[in-house]
Structure 1
């Protein structure tokens, strides 16, 4: 008989025999409740089960706040929060609105009307410049007018009930409406400006976050903020219960928390406190005698059950860990692990260098290889367009596709910002096309066609199939990597833009990218769209077919040269001479025509990536191109004289000095 088992079982029986002694004597003093919230024996109950009839009664909303405001030192808004919650449904009513964790400067600005989980209904509700809030919503209602993706999602809100980022948790294996206890971890790192959210049905924190959002909360937080929870039932009826909560600010290392000790009870106790029953001395004595007999008989059985359960949990945990390894889920690496893999960022391990990062080849203990992308530390000074945060936020969101370079992990420690990717043995397409002295890895025509189709598949996913539309903005041959089977994988999302689908108009920006790959309207208007990616893809297609760079050493522009051959009916003369005619003529013609169609000066005439892929696979007819390169007029947003009209396709005219460096002069001219 194990003493620990005896103690646990006796404590359980004691709680059943003397329930009034096993419960907390008084509710915690460090939590303040508002509205319908109350202290139950299983935790903080933010709402109660109600009738299913619509009402605007304040009793449908409840909030719980830590009684003291939390100080965020200086400009550092970093914090960590972990809590367990459950949303218990009413079987005869619709679900309530959900529950939110929030950090607010003025909690009195929150709404007490139904809906919105107690958050302000509109930005106007924050009627003072001193008011702001950050919230993570666990939403169980579907309201399209608020941009909800469904009725079972997590969203990140800043000063508005319309989420900046959200994720469908059902697709990730979680159901907020199941009534099960769920543990959530919410962390914000001020250095990387990233909010990360994890979920689990157990107390074990998963290796990768469920949702990652890039936000600068230091600009939103005041010196003192309030932290807590809010929930509402709206037109439904659910119990929203928080039974464990810890909050910590990284800068002060002060841990704030409220933890409940819970014992098995009738679930009806969640609705409010019960009146205790008086028990006579004889019944107390009899209960103690029965409990003692049960202990003697049942403890061995209980210990056996406990041991078996522990072994079962251990086996399940090992299966989960092995599943994580098999699916290659991104995880957080320590700086010590990164340095060990790269021999302290040794120069002999460098396999690539760019404007914002250096890539090292690393080795892991299992014998595999990784690519370690170490970002320039100076980029930490500007978080508006930090390549690390942009790339990490894009890659961690939803980018799991066979033709995208897979993120395996990240490291934000000290002054280091590092992303860990799979290592691709054959390097970049640029190296094999233009800098390859080894004829044994010369790209045959079949491999080139395979590469083009792979990149088309990746861009179709980004533009149409991802939860949010992603515009890469830097599609080029050196950002296309090849694995050991020459499968193409698009990488380097440091310039990527993430949008909601059908998000409408977009603001003009300073164009970013590489000379020769930039779409003309993007250069002069500064507005990235899916069609600007299509243009860059078209340049890559022509580059693969011809073996020529977008702009060669003689300043010849590849796109111009191909258009001239098309006008002379000599298109096949553009085929790479190194292929020595070893290609299918109809396939070569199809690839060149698709490339020209994608670089059409008029973006409206370019195909979508899905349409281009279908033509490349021979599933659709070749597009009809004009006999000569067309002329298109574009109004510039970036030139000094915003009324200048730019004519694409003209000759012998000066170009706008403000944008000319971004693309060869032979592309554009003024009228």
Structure 2
């Protein structure tokens, strides 16, 4: 019985998706009225020819601007957005096409694009750009396109004249890939099959291309893009092509398309696309000498028969669905802990003008002199940071992550950091994201450059340097970090837990103002959500709260603890864990117990500080690292105490014993069962509780 559960679950889920999720499944022939043609497009042998063969090469002085453009769109709008639930549809698309140069005297045409747009009429009337809006277009209508570009135009960032790109609202692609190196020649005249998939749950677009009708195992192009911001309730789906200054015949032979209310990663494309044809004519169809009307009638008759048969089957299956669903649900509930929620795509709403700029890999390489080693200004476990210079943006910090083929792209630090930063992080004390690049296997984020580097470098590596932070600068730094964390915890639309607050991730601008960065470990939650998933603790030795190391559950109070360690670091000048093993938290608690708290101040300050401010800062730091997470202040409260706007915290006479208990919501049955396997801990002397094999030293 137990061995059959996975099979039953898969079958039930497959039935649930196909019986309840909205989808488009309307077969038609190009000869019927289900497709709208415009421009040069026409029907030829049960296929759509988007452009016509030219007898002479077009010139820039040609009088007709629309000549050379052809479009074919499904005649009816398709629902992509549920206005009541704000849920965005995922979609799968498969089509076959060919591009054949029609003259040896002319250059190739521009290429063909698969397009989703709310308004076909808003597309460009210019002869170029595959019929998509020009880069300088003032049209405010959004569109999404996958371009099969056969004309090299460096003005729009093309990598060559034989590439595939993903376009969002502009022909300057957000991601592109050279297909020549993958053995594909778009202008060979051979039939090419393309598969395009968008999964809204993970905000991921994948594109496969091949000469065979069997989908290749590896996608040619992968990009993390949230299309929910682009889609309106109803959109038009189709193709556009243009010849521009060249001459090619662009033909679409077959086309399958389907939308889903939900498309989890476990369901493969080929298992769900059968029967969802927009254009299902086969090579055999073109040789049959029957009229289009008769052919359409036969197809409609078959569809009615199929619908009647499937209707009876669906009624029978649905009658047992509820019974089997309850049984399987109870089995899953008993056997599984709450599934780890997906972080990808969990971003706050942001105004379009605040979205970072997509940069080409060529621009990135130019800015960093080809990722020159002499340009490296920082290095972490998953990325290197280069100092760069962009023509349009001055000096920047270019964060180059490990190659996508090494770390994977669904749950990488790049994915987490990009999704978090692009979402809603606009605060004066957060490092600002200027741009990004996801081209080929390169994953790059471009940030504003912080001239004074990290707080760790200034605070702990300047003993033989003239750079010693003044007390005023130090207090301003901790106040800035407190403001940034309060924003993440309480003011952003979705609550963000940083999970890696430390001096290495606090950057200093030219005026030594603090800006928190590195969101590669961040967790994003709805403010109303109480659910927190237990994981292997992530962070850095000396900064992790005891209950987090014990339970693996991040909360805002674990960030408060890390902030408290930073406060004590800044005030004392000591490292979180000294080379001799001394823990700064324990050392400052000891000074408090002996009534010598003020003596914990950094000696390099040579007494040049306000004693009241120093005492307040040290006491705030101790309150934040209280072993009992309930006794710690919130970040907003900590900021008010540091400013003198709230009373000093009440501290015990000596460091409390660590009493570790579950921090999960009381009504979480699965988590409670999990926690019951681990007794609470009471330790007189708990150090930083950080397994050295899991964390870095910096």
Q: TM-score normalised by the shorter chain: which range applies? A: 0.5 to 0.7
Q: How does 1:78-93 map to 2 (within 5 A)?
A: 82-84=116-118
Partner of residue 33, structure 2: 27
Corresponding position of 2:469:
443
The CA deviation at 1:650 is 3.5
Q: State the 1:504 CA deviation.
A: 1.2
Q: Are residues 1:386 and 2:412 paired? A: yes
Q: Which moved more, 1:426-435 or 1:357-366?
A: 357-366
SS of residue matched to 2:438: strand
Residues 497, 554 of structure 2: 8 Å contact kept: yes
Deviation readout 1:276-334 (Å, 9 max, x if unpaired): xxxxxxxxxxxxxxxxxxxxxxxxxxxxxxxxxxxxxxxxxxxxxxx99xx77411111
1:165/1:71 Cα in 2 relative to 1: closer, same or farther (>3 Å)? same
Task: Give the corresponding residue for 1:14.
Answer: none
Cα offset, 1:632, TM superposition: 3.0
User: Is 1:70–2:91 an aligned residue pair?
Assistant: no
Alpha carbons 2:538, 2:695 under 8 Å: kept: no
Residues 379 and 598 from structure 1, CA distance in 2 versus in 1: closer, same or farther, beyond 3 angstroms?
Answer: farther
**Residue 406 (structure 1) aligned with residue 432 (structure 2):** yes
1:615 alignment counterpart = 641
How much does 1:524 deviate? 0.9
Report what 1:529 is aligned to: 555
Q: Structure 1 residue 196 and structure 2 residue 207: aligned?
A: no
Instruction: Say which of 28, 44, 48 aligns to 2:76.
Output: 44
**1:597 to 2:605 alignment:** no
Alpha-carbon shift at residue 45 of structure 1 (Å): 5.7
Q: Deviations over 1:554-606 (max 9, x none)?
A: 11000000111111111111100000111111100111001000000000111
Residue aligned with 1:629, SS: coil
The 5 A counterparts of 1:228-267 are none
Contact 2:433–2:447, Cα closer than 8 Å, also in 1: yes
2:685 to 633, 645, 650: 650
- Tell me how far apart the structure 2 counterparts of residues 589 and 616 of structure 1 sit (CA, whole Å): 10
- Aligned-residue offset at 1:376: 1.2
| Distance of aligned partners of 1:462 and 1:631 in 2 relative to their CA distance in 1, 3 Å threshold | same
5+ long unaligned stretches in structure 1: 1-23, 32-40, 48-63, 73-78, 87-100, 102-155, 167-185, 204-214, 230-244, 247-322, 665-671
Which runs of structure 2 are paired with 1:124-273 in the superposition (5 Å)?
A: 187=205, 194-197=224-227, 198-199=229-230, 218-223=265-270, 225=272
Distance 2:591 2:651 in 1: 13
Q: Deviations over 1:241-289 (max 9, x none)?
A: xxxx99xxxxxxxxxxxxxxxxxxxxxxxxxxxxxxxxxxxxxxxxxxx
- For 1:277-356, list aligned pairs within 5 A: 329-356=355-382
Q: Is the 8 A contact 1:601 1:648 kept in 2?
A: no
Kept in 2, the 8 Å contact 1:70–1:225? The answer is: no
Mapping of residues 511-660 of structure 1, within 5 Å: 511-635=537-661, 642-650=677-685, 659=691
Among 338, 355, 365, the residue aligned to 2:391: 365
Matched positions, count: 411
Distance 1:164 1:605, change over 3 A: farther
2-structure distance, mates of 1:539, 1:655: 11
2:524 to 494, 498, 501: 498
* 2-structure distance, mates of 1:457, 1:228: 55
Tell me whether 1:478 sits opposite 2:510 in the alignment: no
Shift of 1:540: 0.2
Q: Secondary structure at the match of 2:269?
A: coil
SS state of the match for residue 637, structure 2? helix
Does residue 1:375 correspond to 2:401, yes or no? yes
Tell me how far 1:484 sits from its aligned partner. 0.6
In structure 1, C-alpha distance between the alignment counterparts of 2:490 and 2:117, rounded to whole Å = 35
1: distance between equivalents of 2:618 and 2:598? Answer: 8
Residue 304 of structure 2 aligns with which residue? none
CA contact (8 A) 2:201 2:264 kept: no
Aligned residue for 2:654, secondary structure, equals: coil
SS of 1:586's equivalent in the other structure is: helix
Verify the 8 A CA contact 2:507 2:515 in the aligned structure 1: yes
In 1: Cα distance, 2:274 partner to 2:391 partner:
42
Q: 1:476 to 1:227 in 2, by over 3 A?
A: farther
Distance 1:618 1:401, change over 3 A: same
1:655–1:352 CA distance, 2 compared to 1 (3 A): closer
Cα deviation, residue 415, structure 1? 1.4
Contact 2:543 2:688 in 1 (8 A): no
Unaligned runs of 5+ in 2: 1-29, 38-72, 80-88, 97-112, 121-143, 145-196, 208-218, 237-261, 280-350, 663-670
Residue 319 of structure 1 aligns with which residue?
A: none
> Quick check: 1:448–1:544 contact (8 Å CA) kept in 2?
yes
Cα shift at 1:335: 0.6
The alpha carbon displacement at 1:467 in A equals 1.2
What is the correspondence of 1:392-431 to structure 2 with a 5 Å cutoff? 392-431=418-457
Cα separation, 2, equivalents of 1:69 and 1:366 = 37
